[in-house]
Every structure is written in structure tokens, then in C-alpha cells.
Structure 1
Amino acid sequence: MELFNQGRFFECHEAWEEIWKRSDGAVKLFYQGLIQAAVAILHAQRGNLEGARSLYQKASARLDSIPYEHMGLAVGDLRVELSRFIEIACRADAGPLPAPPRLRRIRKSRA
């Protein structure tokens, strides 16, 4: 998560891939979606807009079925931020890219 939030998308892809390889079922799909989201952002930053679109679609297919809050993370917020980021990055008239999405922990309020 720290690598993702630091904008080190290749490195977080590598770290998550190790977890993904040892996972199965819904957990495996969740990590695959995170990996694909990171690579989509990386492609957008490198100007590979077709790659960004393609990986975004794959990430969305996996992350859209994940609850808004999952494993202590605000996955719903990530989905929204990722969608906006890719939309702006892929515009024909796009200027500089916005800040990339961040992955946030859910803070539970204490009663």
C-alpha cells in the first residue's frame, strides 16, 4: 500500500504479485485488480493510453464486485479516483496528469 501511495507503481505491482500468486478465490481477484490498477496508472504516466484503458477495464472488472470497504481499505474510493484519473489521462486534450489515486485505510470510529 505504501508503494502504491508513493507512486511506485511498478514496485507495488511486483510486491502484490507475490501475494497474488499464493492466493485463491476472491482474494486472488482482489489483488489482481489492484495490480491491474497500478499498471493502468503506470501506463497512463508513460503515455501508453491504450494500455492504460485496457488495464483499467480489467482492474474495474475485478474491483467493481468488491465491497466499498474491503480488508480495511476504502476500495470504493479507489474505484472512483481511478476512474477519474484514467478519464482525464485518456482525453485527447489532456494536459498534465492529475495526482494518481491513493489507497486509503478505513478508519473505524470508536463508540
Structure 2
Amino acid sequence: MDANIGLGLGIEQFNQQDFYACHDTLEAVWLEANPTEKNFYQGILQIAVAHYHLSNHNWQGAVILLGEGIRRLKAFRPAHQGIETENLLQTSAALLAELQTITPDHLPQWLRDVEPEKLAPRIHIQQK
């Protein structure tokens, strides 16, 4: 898959909260990327999968993948390939910190009480 097309589609899927499709799209790009770019794609797709895990009440999967995605994306701040990575890192880190204050068995209640925008992250494109 062409990296630019795949990245654009993956970002669109992420922003529509179609996190499973985003993972599949970015994984196809990641498989063909050079070693440096692999971390960029994998960081975004891990954050997408973390949100997928949240939707399935999988606290552990969400926490682990948010942490891994954040770790991978830090090298690409504040922006990379037209993506504002700093914003994604900040919102993901805030979500991770909040999830780490609860136990897995409290996740369903937390999901009912949380502000909806925390569960609807967006990836922003740099303005030219």
C-alpha cells in the first residue's frame, strides 16, 4: 500500500473511531516502511488498538498499548509527515494517566462516567 494513501486513510479511520480498520490500514503501511518510519506507524496503530481495547472493556490491553504507542511516537514530536504528533501524545498520555488511577474492574463504570471527548481522540493534520 502506498504510504501516503495508507496514512491518510488510517488517520481518517482513526478520527471516525474505526480503530480496528485503522489498525489494519496502518499495519499494511508499517509492513512496507523503512525501519525508522516503522515506529511512527506502529505508534499510531498501537494507540488506535488501545482505544479498540477500551471499547471492549479491556483495561490491561488499553494501558499497555497506550504506553507502547506513546513511547514509539515520542521520537516524532512535535509533528511528522504532516501529523501533529504532539497533540496525539498529550491526549494519549492524559488518558493513560487517568486509566492508571482505576482498577480493571472499575473500567465499565469509568467508561459510563467519562467525558465523551476523552474516548473520541482525533489526529490533527498540520496546516500548510
Question: 2:65 & 2:84 partners in 1: Cα distance?
Answer: 20
- 1:97 is displaced (CA, Å) by 5.4
Q: What are structure 2's unaligned runs of at least 5 residues?
A: 1-10
TM-score by length of 2: 0.77
Higher normalized helix content (fraction of residues): 2
Q: 1:13 to 1:65 in 2, by over 3 A?
A: same
1:9/1:42 contact within 8 Å kept: yes
Q: Distance in 1 between matches of 2:121 and 2:37?
A: 21
State the identity %.
30
Deviations 1:37-75 (A, max 9, x none): 100111112111111111111111101111201111100
How many pairs align? 108
For structure 1, the residue ranges without an aligned partner over 5 or more in a row are none
Correspondent of 1:81 among 91, 96, 102: 91
Alpha-carbon RMSD: 1.6
| Local SS of the residue matching 1:54 | helix
Query: Quick one: distance in 2 between partners of 1:71 and 1:37?
Result: 17
Bigger CA drift: 78-87 or 48-57? 78-87
